[in-house]
Amino acid sequence: MIEVQGVAGQCIAVLGLGRSGLSAARALRAGGAQVLAWDDNSAARDVALSEGFEVQDLTGEAAFDDIAALIVSPGIPHLYPQPNKIVANALHAGVPVDNDIGLFFRSFASAEWADYDQPPKVIAVTGSNGKSTTSALIAHVLQEVGRDVQLAGNIGRGVLDIDPPGDGGVVVLELSSYQTELARALTPDVAVFTNLTPDHLDRHGGLGGYFAAKRRLFAEGGPDRAVIGVDEAEGLFLAGQLAEGRGDDRVIRVSANRKLLGPGWLVFARKGFLSEYRKGKQAGSIDLRKIKGLPGAHNHQNACAAYAACRTLGLAPKVIERAFHSFAGLPHRSQLIGEKDGVSFVNDSKATNVDSALKALLAFENIRWICGGLAKEGGLSALAPGFAHVAKAYVIGREAAEFSLQLEGLEAEVCTTMEHAVAQAMADATPGETVLLAPAAASFDQYDNFEKRGEDFIRHVKSRL
């Protein structure tokens, strides 16, 4: 546990008692604070009571008279589309509002660091897509080379649940816009921006607010190194804001679709090859086509960002390449389940929207595509560029027939259930093809979440391998 510093004797309120909220409450108590906990969910309050926390309703007008700070869980809005009532009460009372990420950064350093040869470092990763894979890949590379590394934040453990790092330790954090927009302290050593596509726009008041939430990771703390994906206008703008000149190698520009030019520090992927350039000269390269855990252009972008972050720590290109080859991928994200008779089986249940499903379709050739579920707004027309890769679609979900009608130009079979879809796709598949689950839809019509959907796919595939 990371004990929160500077709170001894203070009364601190915690709103939201999920994973991050309870973690913050424990870390605050360990730091000597008096913790008042609240959640609208009675079951969550009962858990807090069972751990000895004082539970107090914070909705009253005088609730914050004796409270020094309010710690808010990520899912609770504090500005758009409208502030949570309790957050609004705290702001009216002049009480600072923070989250567990802010507590982590203000409490990460300790007196023991004076005895370390190498102070611990934090690599923080944000962006719209790929941040989980990028974070996990960085942690995997560091683990493979024997570094003391912990993965936390939006993936792995809660940030305050990790162990205090040892000499030369590295903490890799995946941070969402919900986390970066509110944290009062953001001081990573290395900050990574993967990309930006529209998401959570109601929460941030539009695309500009969404980008501003991501940008805080770079603007508030001033990382020693910034790895910036420049394939979108926002990333290009951010890199330009951070760099003092063309050759400023504190900013590493990353691209997955074009060769980057100039005297700075550049990492890009073209036609499956990763290249690193510094001061106009090539410093490293990797053939990404041979790495099964990183298929497709979107994963090549993740690989470039992870490679750049690892290079800031002094790892050699060949060392990083070897570690890439042993990366199995994250569950439900282009996860290779197995192979049989020349047919590959890939679980990308995390592809819950059109954008992520299209990336999956473009990552493979000759696909037997299992798709469908609870469709999102906007329709499926944006998937069309990937249809040339699809031999046939097998549609699941309660509205499978309606979903299939939107797949114009594709042969589509209405299967409804995962069991039927897997059985039919496996029966039809020939050597060299890939049976791919990339639903392009939410899972809630048939499953509790996308993980359960992916697990069902894996179960039916493995029962037939």
Residue 120 belongs to a domain with what CATH number? 3.40.1190.10
pLDDT at 307: 98
Is 59 annotated in a binding site? The answer is no
Nearest to 415 by CA among 431, 433, 399, 391: 399
Q: Say if residue 121 carries a ligand binding annotation.
A: no
Residues 160 and 194 in one domain: yes
Of 78, 98, 118, at which residue does a domain stop?
Answer: 98
Contacts of 394 (CB under 8 A, 6+ apart): 368, 369, 370, 371, 412, 413, 415, 420, 421, 424, 425
Instruction: Tell me the average pLDDT of the chain.
Output: 95
- Please tell me whether residues 193 and 285 are part of one structural domain: yes
293 is in an annotated binding site: no
Tens of pLDDT, residues 46-72: 999 999 999 999 998 789 999 999 999
Is 2 inside any structural domain?
no
pLDDT for the residue numbered 197: 87
- Rounded to the nearest 5 degrees, what angle is found at the Cα of 344, between the Cα atoms of 341 and 350? 160
Task: Flag whether pLDDT at 402 surpasses 90.
Answer: yes
Q: Which residues contact 445 (CB under 8 A, 6 or more apart)?
A: 373, 374, 397, 398, 399
Amino acid (one-letter) located at 329:
G
Residues 362 and 418 occupy one common structural domain? yes
| Pair (19, 162) in one structural domain | no
Do residue 182 and residue 292 come from a single domain? yes
The answer on pLDDT for 377 being more than 80 is no
**230 vs 257, residue with greater confidence:** 230
Q: Cα(452)–Cα(443) distance, rounded to whole angstroms?
A: 9
Does residue 6 sit within a domain? no
Evaluate whether residue 104 is within a structural domain. no
Q: Is 430 annotated as a binding residue?
A: no
455 in the same domain as 425: yes
Whether 4 maps to a domain, the answer reads no
Residue that is last in its domain, among 60, 78, 98: 98
Tell me: is residue 133 an annotated ligand-binding position. Answer: yes
Q: Per-residue pLDDT tens for 83-126?
A: 999 999 999 999 999 999 999 999 999 989 999 999 999 999 99
Counted domains in the chain: 3
Q: Is 130 annotated as a binding residue?
A: yes
38 found inside a domain: yes
Kindly tell me if the per-residue pLDDT of 175 is higher than 90. Answer: yes
Residues across the chain = 465
CA–CA separation, 186 vs 193, rounded Å? 14
pLDDT band at 353 (very low <50, low <70, confident <90, very high): confident
**At 54, which CATH number?**
3.40.50.720
Is residue 367 very low, low, confident or very high in pLDDT (cuts 50, 70, 90)? very high
My answer on whether 321 and 226 are in the same domain is yes
Is 128 within any annotated ligand binding site? yes
Whether residue 430 lies inside any domain: the answer is yes
- Same domain for 184 and 308, yes or no, is yes
Q: Which of 98, 118, 137 corresponds to the end of one domain?
A: 98
281 burial type by CB count under 10 A (0-12 exposed, 13-18 middle, 19+ buried): exposed
The answer to whether residue 320 scores a pLDDT higher than 90 is yes
Q: What is the mean pLDDT of residues 74-88?
A: 93
The DSSP bridge partners found for residue 368 are 392, 435
Q: Are 347 and 332 in contact (CB under 8 A)?
A: yes
CATH number for the domain harbouring residue 440: 3.90.190.20
Q: Residue 199 has what pLDDT? A: 80
The pLDDT value given to residue 310: 98
What global pTM score does this model have? 0.88
- 355: pLDDT strictly greater than 90: no
pLDDT of residue 360: 94
The reply to whether 379 falls in a domain is yes
Segment 423-449 shows an average pLDDT of 96
**Is there a single domain that holds both residue 26 and residue 78?**
yes
Q: Is 200 found in the same domain as 123? A: yes
The residue type found at 81 is P
Range of the domain at 122: 109-325
Residues 183 and 316 in one domain: yes
Task: Let me know whether 150 and 202 are in one domain.
Answer: yes
